[in-house]
Amino acid sequence: MRSRHVSGLALVCAAVGILAGCSTLPAAGPSTTQIDPPNTNPDPIKDYLVVDLNQQVVDILSQYRVAPFSNRFAAPRPAPGQIVGVGDVLSINLFEAGQGGLFASAYGARVALQQRVDTDGSISVPYAGRVKAAGESPQVVERRIVAALEGRAIQPQALVQITETVSRSFVVNGEVSKPGRYPITAAGDRVLDVLATAGGAKQEAFETRVTLQRGSSQASAVMKDLIDNQSENVYVQPNDRIYVTKDPEIFLAFGAVPNPGPINFGIEKLSLLEAVGKAGGLIDQRSDPSAFFLFRYEPASAVRSMRPDYNGRFGEKVPVVYRVNLRDPRAYFFARNFMMRDRDVLFVSNAPLTELQKFLEILSTARNVASTAYLAQRISARL
């Protein structure tokens, strides 16, 4: 009889061993010790940095501003004044001081014509021949025409204006009311100015992404960041392309929360505390409030302010895991002032007792399997 119990126990142990060897306990993500393993070294070598959320961290990050446009496209500056370019259309008025000259007619000594700048950068002017115009201001073109007419016309004068700009224009496409090509004004136009010219964005500013393409360089920013930070509202340059898309900011929630998955911000600014609320809070029976984590990339400059000992091993974009202990009442104030960013990842680890419960459930399953096997052996022995 005793041998049968020993045999059954052996089967249970074997089943548990097989289960343990095949896989770990099922979970929605890493455990606390996997994210931040115990180590006597204060900064163990990991593929990310773990930073405890406190008031100092909140203060440092509140000063940080996303700067995709000003960083990529240098300091904002006005575009140069009116410059003639290939493909532009010029309105040219020629005048003489008296009758009987080259341009004399029944309507006076004046001629008006329009010329499109050829691919070689020049225009054709009666009696003046080919005049170089591309790359010059209208005033320079006027002087060149007058110089070419000297000795042929009576005290000639010229007035040149750009009536159609092709070379100094930009394109706006996407979620705007009036997409198309627009000329750059003499005073220069900023990104928000050209969006207004194109009829404005169709979506809310916090759900609108603006992409600026200049040559081979490209950068994107949320429209509300251009409004909040004027240094990002850079001047548009000739041949820039601006794409406006609807791109709501989201964060992703995982682990012991009622509503895991991608979640829209839904408002202009979302705090960490509000994000927890949108995810449904924490599941009482499963979550470990002391093991709440936020994953994101931070610029190296911000990390150096938070961690003066940072050795720069990750380069300019540092993977950071913020650890929040919601058992500490102060953490709720920290989370209230900690602003979320697009594509942040929240993770709430399971409580240790939850892991124990999972293990006991597996053990119970293994024991039932062993009991069934033992019963089958007895039946087989009797047959």
Query: Which CATH number fits the domain that encloses residue 95?
Result: 3.30.1950.10
The confidence score (pLDDT) of residue 306 equals: 92
d(CA 179, CA 243): 9
The confidence score (pLDDT) of residue 290 equals: 87
Q: Are residues 20 and 56 in the same domain?
A: no
84 occurs within a structural domain: no
Q: Are residues 259 and 330 in the same domain?
A: yes
What residue has token string 């070598």? 45
16 occurs within a structural domain: yes
CATH number where 210 lies: 3.10.560.10
361 occurs within a structural domain: yes
Per residue in 317-359, pLDDT tens? 999 999 999 999 999 999 999 999 999 999 998 876 444 444 4
Strand order in the sheet with 208-214: 180-183, 169-174, 241-246, 208-214, 217-222
Q: Are residues 204 and 75 in the same domain?
A: yes
Q: Are residues 74 and 217 in the same domain?
A: yes
d(CA 83, CA 136): 5
d(CA 167, CA 86): 6
187 occurs within a structural domain: yes
Q: Are residues 16 and 158 in the same domain?
A: no
The confidence score (pLDDT) of residue 54 equals: 95
The residue ranges of the chain whose pLDDT is under 70 are 1-45, 75-81, 100, 104-109, 352-383
Domain termination residue (choose one: 164, 199, 226): 164
Say if pTM beats, i.e. exceeds, 0.75: no
Q: Are residues 75 and 174 in the same domain?
A: yes
- Write the single-letter amino acid at 195: L
The confidence score (pLDDT) of residue 311 equals: 85
Q: Are residues 21 and 40 in the same domain?
A: no
12 occurs within a structural domain: yes
Mean pLDDT of the residues in the chain: 82
Q: Are residues 254 and 306 in the same domain?
A: yes
Q: Are residues 60 and 22 in the same domain?
A: no
Domain termination residue (choose one: 120, 147, 164): 164
Residue 42 structure tokens: 């204060």
Do the strands 129-132 and 122-125 form a parallel or antiparallel pair, or are they unpaired? antiparallel
260 occurs within a structural domain: yes
Torsion angles phi and psi, residue 63, rounded to 5: -90, -10
Domain termination residue (choose one: 164, 195, 227): 164
Q: Are residues 74 and 195 in the same domain?
A: yes
d(CA 173, CA 198): 9
The confidence score (pLDDT) of residue 218 equals: 94
d(CA 115, CA 89): 6
288 occurs within a structural domain: yes
Residue 22 burial (10 A CB sphere; 0-12, 13-18, 19+): exposed
Three-state DSSP class for 192? Answer: helix
d(CA 281, CA 14): 40
Residue 30 structure tokens: 């890493």
CB 354 within 8 A of CB 283: no
Domain that holds residue 127: 89-164
Q: Are residues 180 and 155 in the same domain?
A: no
d(CA 378, CA 383): 9
**Start-to-end CA span in the chain (Å):** 19
Beta bridge partners of 296: 320
The confidence score (pLDDT) of residue 223 equals: 95
d(CA 71, CA 67): 6
> How many domains does the chain contain in total?
4
Q: Are residues 55 and 106 in the same domain?
A: no
332 occurs within a structural domain: yes
